[in-house]
Protein backbone atom coordinates (compact mmCIF):
# COMPACT_ATOMS: atom_id res chain seq x y z
CA UNK A 1 0.00 0.00 0.00
CA UNK A 2 1.35 3.42 -0.96
CA UNK A 3 1.13 6.51 1.20
CA UNK A 4 -1.37 9.08 -0.01
CA UNK A 5 0.13 12.58 0.03
CA UNK A 6 -2.99 14.13 1.51
CA UNK A 7 -3.26 11.43 4.18
CA UNK A 8 0.29 11.82 5.48
CA UNK A 9 -0.14 15.21 7.25
CA UNK A 10 -2.98 13.77 9.33
CA UNK A 11 -1.08 10.65 10.45
CA UNK A 12 0.34 10.39 13.94
CA UNK A 13 3.79 9.07 14.74
CA UNK A 14 2.31 5.97 16.37
CA UNK A 15 0.20 5.24 13.28
CA UNK A 16 3.22 5.62 11.00
CA UNK A 17 5.40 3.37 13.18
CA UNK A 18 2.70 0.70 13.34
CA UNK A 19 2.29 0.64 9.54
CA UNK A 20 6.05 0.53 8.94
CA UNK A 21 6.57 -2.20 11.54
CA UNK A 22 3.78 -4.29 10.01
CA UNK A 23 5.17 -3.85 6.50
CA UNK A 24 2.08 -2.00 5.21
CA UNK A 25 4.27 0.90 4.06
CA UNK A 26 8.02 1.38 3.93
CA UNK A 27 10.07 3.96 5.79
CA UNK A 28 11.21 5.27 2.38
CA UNK A 29 7.58 5.86 1.36
CA UNK A 30 6.98 7.84 4.53
CA UNK A 31 10.10 9.95 4.03
CA UNK A 32 9.18 10.66 0.43
CA UNK A 33 5.72 11.80 1.56
CA UNK A 34 7.31 14.06 4.18
CA UNK A 35 9.68 15.56 1.60
CA UNK A 36 6.79 16.18 -0.79
CA UNK A 37 4.90 17.89 2.01
CA UNK A 38 7.96 20.01 2.78
CA UNK A 39 8.25 21.04 -0.85
CA UNK A 40 4.56 21.92 -0.91
CA UNK A 41 4.29 24.08 2.24
CA UNK A 42 7.69 25.10 3.60
CA UNK A 43 8.32 27.83 1.07
CA UNK A 44 5.68 29.84 2.90
CA UNK A 45 6.15 28.51 6.45
CA UNK A 46 9.96 28.32 6.47
CA UNK A 47 10.08 25.90 9.41
CA UNK A 48 13.42 24.37 8.39
CA UNK A 49 16.88 25.87 8.30
CA UNK A 50 18.23 22.77 6.57
CA UNK A 51 16.52 19.87 4.82
CA UNK A 52 18.34 16.56 4.19
CA UNK A 53 16.61 14.57 1.38
CA UNK A 54 19.42 12.13 0.59
CA UNK A 55 20.41 11.62 4.23
CA UNK A 56 16.75 11.02 5.19
CA UNK A 57 16.26 8.44 2.44
CA UNK A 58 19.42 6.62 3.46
CA UNK A 59 18.26 6.61 7.09
CA UNK A 60 14.87 5.25 6.00
CA UNK A 61 16.57 2.43 4.12
CA UNK A 62 18.63 1.66 7.23
CA UNK A 63 15.39 1.40 9.22
CA UNK A 64 14.05 -1.14 6.73
CA UNK A 65 17.21 -3.21 6.97
CA UNK A 66 17.02 -3.18 10.76
CA UNK A 67 13.40 -4.32 10.71
CA UNK A 68 14.26 -7.10 8.26
CA UNK A 69 16.95 -8.24 10.70
CA UNK A 70 14.40 -8.46 13.50
CA UNK A 71 15.35 -5.30 15.38
CA UNK A 72 12.52 -3.73 17.38
CA UNK A 73 12.02 -0.06 16.48
CA UNK A 74 9.08 1.58 18.31
CA UNK A 75 9.25 4.70 16.10
CA UNK A 76 10.19 2.99 12.85
CA UNK A 77 10.15 5.35 9.89
CA UNK A 78 8.76 8.37 11.74
CA UNK A 79 10.12 11.61 10.21
CA UNK A 80 11.36 14.06 12.82
CA UNK A 81 12.51 17.67 12.83
CA UNK A 82 15.53 18.53 14.97
CA UNK A 83 15.83 21.90 16.68
CA UNK A 84 18.87 23.58 15.13
CA UNK A 85 20.57 24.49 18.41
CA UNK A 86 20.79 20.79 19.37
CA UNK A 87 20.71 18.91 16.06
CA UNK A 88 21.52 15.20 15.99
CA UNK A 89 23.89 15.40 18.95
CA UNK A 90 21.45 15.90 21.82
CA UNK A 91 20.71 12.84 23.98
CA UNK A 92 17.02 12.99 23.07
CA UNK A 93 17.77 13.11 19.33
CA UNK A 94 20.18 10.18 19.54
CA UNK A 95 17.64 8.01 21.39
CA UNK A 96 14.82 8.90 18.99
CA UNK A 97 16.97 8.06 15.97
CA UNK A 98 18.01 4.77 17.60
CA UNK A 99 14.28 3.98 17.98
CA UNK A 100 13.71 4.37 14.24
CA UNK A 101 13.01 8.09 13.77
CA UNK A 102 14.31 9.54 10.50
CA UNK A 103 15.76 13.08 10.77
CA UNK A 104 14.39 15.28 8.01
CA UNK A 105 16.45 18.38 8.81
CA UNK A 106 17.15 21.21 11.24
CA UNK A 107 14.25 23.39 12.36
CA UNK A 108 14.53 27.14 12.80
CA UNK A 109 15.50 29.02 15.95
CA UNK A 110 15.77 32.77 16.65
CA UNK A 111 18.63 34.69 15.10
CA UNK A 112 20.79 37.38 16.61
CA UNK A 113 19.88 41.02 17.04
CA UNK A 114 16.64 40.94 19.02
CA UNK A 115 15.99 40.38 22.73
CA UNK A 116 12.68 38.58 22.08
CA UNK A 117 12.94 34.91 21.22
CA UNK A 118 9.43 34.16 19.92
CA UNK A 119 10.44 33.79 16.27
CA UNK A 120 12.60 31.70 13.94
CA UNK A 121 15.24 32.67 11.39
CA UNK A 122 16.07 30.99 8.08
CA UNK A 123 18.08 32.03 5.03
CA UNK A 124 14.80 32.70 3.21
CA UNK A 125 13.15 34.84 5.88
CA UNK A 126 11.44 34.42 9.24
CA UNK A 127 9.42 31.34 10.12
CA UNK A 128 5.70 32.06 9.83
CA UNK A 129 2.79 30.76 11.84
CA UNK A 130 1.06 28.02 9.78
CA UNK A 131 -2.32 29.45 10.78
CA UNK A 132 -1.55 33.02 9.69
CA UNK A 133 1.57 34.00 7.80
CA UNK A 134 1.63 37.51 9.29
CA UNK A 135 2.08 36.10 12.81
CA UNK A 136 4.97 34.55 14.69
CA UNK A 137 5.03 30.81 15.46
CA UNK A 138 6.51 31.51 18.90
CA UNK A 139 9.90 30.34 20.01
CA UNK A 140 12.56 29.50 20.56
CA UNK A 141 11.46 26.08 19.24
CA UNK A 142 9.82 28.01 16.40
CA UNK A 143 10.55 25.75 13.46
CA UNK A 144 9.84 22.58 15.41
CA UNK A 145 6.30 23.71 16.24
CA UNK A 146 5.69 25.07 12.74
CA UNK A 147 7.00 21.88 11.12
CA UNK A 148 4.56 19.76 13.14
CA UNK A 149 1.63 22.15 12.67
CA UNK A 150 2.15 22.35 8.90
CA UNK A 151 2.20 18.57 8.57
CA UNK A 152 5.81 18.10 7.48
CA UNK A 153 6.71 15.93 10.48
CA UNK A 154 4.60 14.41 13.28
CA UNK A 155 7.35 14.94 15.89
CA UNK A 156 10.09 17.48 16.52
CA UNK A 157 12.61 18.09 19.26
CA UNK A 158 12.46 21.19 21.42
CA UNK A 159 14.04 22.81 24.43
CA UNK A 160 12.32 25.02 26.98
CA UNK A 161 14.18 27.51 29.16
CA UNK A 162 11.35 29.99 29.73
CA UNK A 163 8.48 28.54 27.69
CA UNK A 164 10.29 27.75 24.44
CA UNK A 165 8.37 24.49 23.87
CA UNK A 166 5.02 25.50 25.33
CA UNK A 167 4.68 28.94 23.72
CA UNK A 168 5.20 27.78 20.11
CA UNK A 169 3.05 24.72 20.81
CA UNK A 170 0.20 26.98 21.93
CA UNK A 171 0.61 29.47 19.08
CA UNK A 172 0.90 26.77 16.39
CA UNK A 173 -1.88 24.54 17.76
CA UNK A 174 0.20 21.47 18.64
CA UNK A 175 1.14 19.61 21.83
CA UNK A 176 4.26 20.61 23.76
CA UNK A 177 5.71 19.05 26.91
CA UNK A 178 8.24 20.49 29.34
CA UNK A 179 9.22 17.59 31.62
CA UNK A 180 10.39 17.93 35.20
CA UNK A 181 13.77 19.65 35.33
CA UNK A 182 16.57 17.11 35.01
CA UNK A 183 14.30 14.23 33.94
CA UNK A 184 15.64 14.00 30.37
CA UNK A 185 19.13 12.52 29.96
CA UNK A 186 21.63 15.30 29.40
CA UNK A 187 19.54 18.00 31.06
CA UNK A 188 20.96 19.67 34.14
CA UNK A 189 19.12 18.74 37.38
CA UNK A 190 17.54 21.90 38.73
CA UNK A 191 18.37 23.80 35.54
CA UNK A 192 16.04 26.17 33.73
CA UNK A 193 16.46 24.57 30.30
CA UNK A 194 14.56 21.33 29.71
CA UNK A 195 14.32 19.11 26.61
CA UNK A 196 11.02 17.79 25.31
CA UNK A 197 8.69 17.12 22.37
CA UNK A 198 6.51 19.03 19.97
CA UNK A 199 3.89 16.60 18.65
CA UNK A 200 0.66 16.25 16.68
CA UNK A 201 -1.11 14.61 19.61
CA UNK A 202 -0.61 13.75 23.27
CA UNK A 203 -0.05 10.05 22.62
CA UNK A 204 2.81 10.85 20.26
CA UNK A 205 4.36 13.10 22.91
CA UNK A 206 4.07 10.29 25.46
CA UNK A 207 5.72 7.76 23.13
CA UNK A 208 8.49 10.28 22.40
CA UNK A 209 9.18 10.71 26.13
CA UNK A 210 9.00 6.97 26.81
CA UNK A 211 11.56 6.46 24.05
CA UNK A 212 13.93 9.07 25.46
CA UNK A 213 13.48 7.91 29.06
CA UNK A 214 13.51 4.17 28.34
CA UNK A 215 10.06 3.66 29.89
CA UNK A 216 6.58 2.57 28.81
CA UNK A 217 4.60 4.20 31.60
CA UNK A 218 3.67 7.43 29.82
CA UNK A 219 2.03 5.84 26.79
CA UNK A 220 0.23 3.46 29.14
CA UNK A 221 -1.01 6.40 31.22
CA UNK A 222 -2.38 8.16 28.14
CA UNK A 223 -4.50 5.12 27.34
CA UNK A 224 -5.89 4.79 30.88
CA UNK A 225 -9.34 6.35 31.38
CA UNK A 226 -9.86 8.81 34.22
CA UNK A 227 -12.50 7.29 36.48
CA UNK A 228 -12.15 9.57 39.51
CA UNK A 229 -12.08 13.37 39.09
CA UNK A 230 -8.61 14.86 39.40
CA UNK A 231 -8.25 17.69 41.90
CA UNK A 232 -7.48 20.80 39.85
CA UNK A 233 -7.51 24.56 40.16
CA UNK A 234 -7.73 27.30 37.56
CA UNK A 235 -5.58 30.42 37.44
CA UNK A 236 -5.97 33.08 34.78
CA UNK A 237 -2.82 35.01 35.65
CA UNK A 238 -0.80 33.30 38.45
CA UNK A 239 -1.47 36.46 40.43
CA UNK A 240 0.62 38.85 38.32
CA UNK A 241 0.30 38.37 34.53
CA UNK A 242 -1.58 40.63 32.13
CA UNK A 243 -3.71 38.21 30.06
CA UNK A 244 -5.72 38.83 26.88
CA UNK A 245 -9.40 38.40 27.91
CA UNK A 246 -10.27 36.34 24.81
CA UNK A 247 -7.35 33.96 25.36
CA UNK A 248 -8.35 33.58 29.02
CA UNK A 249 -12.00 32.95 28.13
CA UNK A 250 -11.17 30.20 25.62
CA UNK A 251 -8.74 28.48 27.99
CA UNK A 252 -11.11 28.74 30.96
CA UNK A 253 -13.92 27.24 28.86
CA UNK A 254 -11.73 24.18 28.27
CA UNK A 255 -11.16 23.82 32.03
CA UNK A 256 -14.90 24.02 32.59
CA UNK A 257 -15.44 21.32 29.94
CA UNK A 258 -13.16 19.04 31.93
CA UNK A 259 -15.19 19.77 35.06
CA UNK A 260 -18.51 19.24 33.25
CA UNK A 261 -17.24 15.87 32.03
CA UNK A 262 -16.31 14.90 35.61
CA UNK A 263 -12.67 14.62 34.59
CA UNK A 264 -11.54 17.22 37.11
CA UNK A 265 -13.01 18.59 40.31
CA UNK A 266 -12.24 22.31 40.18
CA UNK A 267 -11.06 23.65 43.51
CA UNK A 268 -11.41 27.31 44.56
CA UNK A 269 -7.74 27.21 45.63
CA UNK A 270 -5.93 30.29 44.39
CA UNK A 271 -2.27 30.38 43.42
CA UNK A 272 -0.46 33.70 43.70
CA UNK A 273 3.18 33.60 42.66
CA UNK A 274 5.78 36.32 42.57
CA UNK A 275 6.63 37.38 39.03
CA UNK A 276 9.95 35.66 38.20
CA UNK A 277 10.97 38.49 35.85
CA UNK A 278 13.62 39.88 38.25
CA UNK A 279 15.03 36.43 39.03
CA UNK A 280 15.03 34.54 35.72
CA UNK A 281 17.80 36.52 33.94
CA UNK A 282 20.02 36.27 37.01
CA UNK A 283 19.48 32.54 37.37
CA UNK A 284 20.04 32.03 33.64
CA UNK A 285 23.28 34.00 33.67
CA UNK A 286 24.56 32.02 36.64
CA UNK A 287 23.49 28.74 35.02
CA UNK A 288 25.40 29.53 31.86
CA UNK A 289 28.49 30.48 33.85
CA UNK A 290 28.79 33.69 31.85
CA UNK A 291 31.66 36.11 32.13
CA UNK A 292 30.77 39.74 32.73
CA UNK A 293 31.52 40.52 29.06
CA UNK A 294 29.23 37.98 27.44
CA UNK A 295 26.58 38.48 30.13
CA UNK A 296 26.42 42.12 29.15
CA UNK A 297 26.19 41.14 25.49
CA UNK A 298 23.48 38.54 26.05
CA UNK A 299 21.29 40.37 28.56
CA UNK A 300 22.38 44.01 28.46
CA UNK A 301 23.47 43.80 32.10
CA UNK A 302 26.61 43.07 34.07
CA UNK A 303 27.26 39.63 35.51
CA UNK A 304 24.96 39.24 38.55
CA UNK A 305 26.65 40.22 41.78
CA UNK A 306 26.18 38.25 45.04
CA UNK A 307 23.32 40.50 46.14
CA UNK A 308 21.43 39.93 42.87
CA UNK A 309 22.00 36.20 43.13
CA UNK A 310 20.75 36.13 46.71
CA UNK A 311 17.61 38.05 45.72
CA UNK A 312 16.95 35.68 42.81
CA UNK A 313 17.35 32.61 45.01
CA UNK A 314 15.09 34.15 47.64
CA UNK A 315 12.36 34.67 45.02
CA UNK A 316 12.81 31.09 43.83
CA UNK A 317 12.49 29.74 47.37
CA UNK A 318 9.42 31.87 48.07
CA UNK A 319 7.64 30.62 44.94
CA UNK A 320 8.70 27.06 45.75
CA UNK A 321 7.01 27.38 49.14
CA UNK A 322 3.84 28.71 47.54
CA UNK A 323 3.78 25.91 44.97
CA UNK A 324 4.42 23.26 47.61
CA UNK A 325 1.47 24.52 49.66
CA UNK A 326 -0.72 24.72 46.55
CA UNK A 327 0.07 21.18 45.37
CA UNK A 328 -0.65 19.86 48.85
CA UNK A 329 -4.35 20.51 48.15
CA UNK A 330 -4.66 20.02 44.36
CA UNK A 331 -3.01 17.76 41.80
CA UNK A 332 -3.04 19.95 38.69
CA UNK A 333 -2.91 23.66 37.95
CA UNK A 334 -4.71 24.81 34.77
CA UNK A 335 -3.83 28.11 33.08
CA UNK A 336 -3.72 29.60 29.60
CA UNK A 337 -0.35 28.67 28.11
CA UNK A 338 0.34 32.20 26.92
CA UNK A 339 -1.04 35.54 28.04
CA UNK A 340 -1.53 36.73 24.47
CA UNK A 341 -2.29 35.46 20.97
CA UNK A 342 0.63 35.24 18.50
CA UNK A 343 2.20 38.61 17.79
CA UNK A 344 3.35 39.92 14.41
CA UNK A 345 6.85 39.63 13.00
CA UNK A 346 7.72 43.04 14.45
CA UNK A 347 7.75 41.54 17.94
CA UNK A 348 5.64 41.37 21.09
CA UNK A 349 5.93 45.02 22.10
CA UNK A 350 5.45 45.36 25.85
CA UNK A 351 3.73 41.96 26.20
CA UNK A 352 5.58 39.25 28.14
CA UNK A 353 4.95 36.06 26.17
CA UNK A 354 6.68 34.04 28.90
CA UNK A 355 4.57 35.42 31.75
CA UNK A 356 2.65 32.17 32.38
CA UNK A 357 5.44 29.70 31.58
CA UNK A 358 8.79 30.73 33.02
CA UNK A 359 7.80 30.42 36.66
CA UNK A 360 7.78 26.65 36.11
CA UNK A 361 11.26 26.70 34.59
CA UNK A 362 12.46 28.38 37.77
CA UNK A 363 10.57 25.88 39.96
CA UNK A 364 11.28 22.83 37.75
CA UNK A 365 7.64 21.63 37.64
CA UNK A 366 6.47 19.67 34.56
CA UNK A 367 3.95 21.33 32.25
CA UNK A 368 2.03 20.39 29.10
CA UNK A 369 0.46 22.71 26.52
CA UNK A 370 -2.61 21.36 24.71
CA UNK A 371 -4.47 23.19 21.90
CA UNK A 372 -8.09 23.91 22.87
CA UNK A 373 -9.51 26.38 20.38
CA UNK A 374 -9.03 29.52 18.31
CA UNK A 375 -9.56 33.22 18.74
CA UNK A 376 -12.11 35.03 16.58
CA UNK A 377 -9.34 35.92 14.14
CA UNK A 378 -8.35 32.26 13.73
CA UNK A 379 -5.30 31.95 15.98
CA UNK A 380 -4.70 28.90 18.20
CA UNK A 381 -5.03 29.01 21.98
CA UNK A 382 -3.37 26.53 24.33
CA UNK A 383 -4.11 25.39 27.86
CA UNK A 384 -1.21 24.69 30.22
CA UNK A 385 -1.42 21.82 32.71
CA UNK A 386 1.14 21.94 35.53
CA UNK A 387 1.75 19.24 38.14
CA UNK A 388 4.06 18.20 40.92
CA UNK A 389 7.63 17.17 40.14
CA UNK A 390 7.56 13.76 38.43
CA UNK A 391 3.82 13.86 37.68
CA UNK A 392 4.16 13.51 33.89
CA UNK A 393 1.95 10.35 33.78
CA UNK A 394 -0.94 12.23 35.40
CA UNK A 395 -0.43 15.34 33.27
CA UNK A 396 -0.31 13.40 30.00
CA UNK A 397 -3.33 11.36 30.99
CA UNK A 398 -5.28 14.56 31.67
CA UNK A 399 -3.90 16.19 28.52
CA UNK A 400 -5.13 13.29 26.39
CA UNK A 401 -8.55 13.59 27.96
CA UNK A 402 -8.58 17.35 27.35
CA UNK A 403 -7.64 16.66 23.74
CA UNK A 404 -10.68 14.38 23.37
CA UNK A 405 -13.08 16.64 25.28
CA UNK A 406 -12.27 19.75 23.26
CA UNK A 407 -11.94 17.96 19.94
What are 132-156's pLDDT values in tens digits?
A: 999 999 999 999 999 999 999 999 9
84-98 pLDDT per residue, tens: 999 999 999 999 999
Examine the pLDDT at 293 and tell me if it is beyond 90: no
Q: What is the pLDDT of residue 113?
A: 83
Element (H, E) at 349: none
Measured in whole angstroms, how far is the alpha carbon of residue 184 from the centre of its chain? 14
- The catalytic site residues sit at 83, 140, 164
pLDDT in tens, 150-181: 999 999 999 999 999 999 999 999 999 999 99
Asked if residues 303 and 290 have their Cβ atoms less than 8 Å apart, the reply is yes
Q: DSSP state, 11?
A: -
Reported as type and span, the H/E element at residue 122 is strand 121-122
Q: What is the mean pLDDT of the chain?
A: 95
pLDDT tens readout for residues 18-75: 999 999 999 999 999 999 999 999 999 999 999 999 999 999 999 999 999 999 999 9
pLDDT of the residue at 402: 97
Which pLDDT score, from 0 to 100, does residue 190 have?
A: 87
CA distance 150 to 44: 10
**Does residue 295 register a pLDDT over 50?**
no
pTM exceeds 0.85, yes or no = yes
Candidate from 249-258, 261-270, 285-294 with smallest mean pLDDT: 285-294
Amino acid sequence: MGLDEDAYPRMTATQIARLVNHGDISAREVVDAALRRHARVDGAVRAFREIWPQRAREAADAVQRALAAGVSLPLAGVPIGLKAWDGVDSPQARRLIAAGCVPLGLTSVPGRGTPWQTWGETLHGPTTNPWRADRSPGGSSAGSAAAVASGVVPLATGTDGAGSIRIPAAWCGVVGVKPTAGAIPGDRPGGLRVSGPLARCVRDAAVYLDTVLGTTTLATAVGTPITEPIRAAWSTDLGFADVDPEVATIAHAAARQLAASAVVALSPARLTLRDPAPAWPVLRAVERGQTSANAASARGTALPDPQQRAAAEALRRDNDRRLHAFFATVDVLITPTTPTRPHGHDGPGDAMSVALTWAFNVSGHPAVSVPVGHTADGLPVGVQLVGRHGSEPLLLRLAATLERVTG
